[in-house]
Amino acid sequence: MAPTWCWRSRVPKGSIMAPTEHEHPLDTTEELSAEEQAEREHAEAEVALARLEDRIGAFTAYTLANDFLELREIFAGSFERMKAEDWQRRSERRAQGWTRRQALAHVTAVTEAYNQAISTALAGEPVVIPGMSERSDLKAFNEAAIEARAELTVEALTTTFLDALSESASLVAPLSLKEMVHHVPLPHLSSVPTIGEMFGSSLAHAGIIHGAQLALTRARPIWIYFQPGMMRRQITRFVHLLGLNYWPERGGDLHATIAINIAGQGGGSWLIRISPSGGQGKIGRARTNDVTFSFNSADLFCRIMTFQSSAWRPLLLRRLRVAGQLGLARRVPHFFMPT
């Protein structure tokens, strides 16, 4: 990403590897000032977080490939149970929201766009996404993508989407670490993602952001079929995507750390740091947070973050807790809305 929070660590931004215990990048015999000591401790924490992220495999080529294939199987099973009339039902709570068929057209277009952008970047060519030159083009791009697929049958759409997931798995499986941490500017993101994060964003977009819209019913979204390990990896990818989606224009001169804690299977701790230069999401804890959201389950986190559930009832039942700057907490959704 463009902003970096790792001041002295030798771990590259977005890296999925960390030095071994015998290759500590910060070993020194010189006496450190208080400021240098604080900086060293911060960098050591970054190294530890990078090592943790490697352990869960959120951005390793092998695990990304497996998760694409797993997500494909989950979707294929869900699609098989849908009837023709299910595809014409609204997949959102809003009356003017997309139908399930329109949501499928959108997710198919985005998955294909990520695959094309990654293939182009790997070939050493500049990435150009037709119809999108800046973030403000995103809404029009989405509408055009849905319209372009309006004449396709549902069978053709589902096949195209499942094939795109298979293609993603084939693209990522053979990639090296050097290729995975290569940064690729994209017009719809404020920060620059690595190729690993692009694959992760594609997985999170299909499996979480639209995981309820593409399910047979909103009561049983796609993510309830994730194993705990996959759920944790998917949330990690989703948090990275939130950081990439941050709008500095909306935050102004704000510098803040937003913490997310999730209890139960697939849960853990994540944080998003935001500043005028952009956002960065990652797994782990920060020393201090400006606002902390604590969810009692991964399912609740996904439902609230995808607007399938209101936050008010969970707050009243203490299934969701908010601590820190409550004024900032109310503004958080606005910072990351893609359009």
Are residues 216 and 119 located together in one domain of the fold? yes
CATH number of residue 114's parent domain:
1.20.120.450
**Adjacency order of strands within the sheet including 291-295:** 278-283, 268-275, 256-262, 291-295, 320-324
**Rounded to an integer, what distance in angstroms lies between the CA atom of residue 88 and that of residue 33?**
65
CATH number of residue 322's parent domain:
3.30.1050.10
Are residues 274 and 173 located together in one domain of the fold? no
**Rounded to an integer, what distance in angstroms lies between the CA atom of residue 183 and that of residue 63?**
20
Q: What is the pLDDT of residue 14?
A: 37
pLDDT in tens, 110-159: 999 999 999 999 999 999 898 888 888 999 999 999 999 999 999 999 99
Are residues 264 and 330 located together in one domain of the fold? yes
**Rounded to an integer, what distance in angstroms lies between the CA atom of residue 326 and that of residue 332?**
10
In Å, the largest CA–CA distance within the chain is 71
Q: What is the pLDDT of residue 265?
A: 95
Q: Is 16 helix (H, G, I), strand (E, B) or coil?
A: coil
Alpha helices in the chain, H assignment, sequence order = 34-56, 61-80, 100-122, 138-148, 154-172, 177-180, 195-204, 228-245, 248-251, 298-305, 312-316, 326-336
Domain that holds residue 306: 248-336
Q: What is the pLDDT of residue 217?
A: 82
Residues of the chain with pLDDT under 50: 1-29
Which letter does DSSP use for residue 260 in this model? E
Q: Residue 213 falls within a domain, yes or no? A: yes
Q: How many domains does the chain have?
A: 2
Q: Of 196, 227, 258, which residue constitutes the final position of a domain? A: 227
Are residues 72 and 191 located together in one domain of the fold? yes
Strands 268-275 and 256-262: antiparallel
Q: Quote the mean pLDDT of the chain.
A: 86
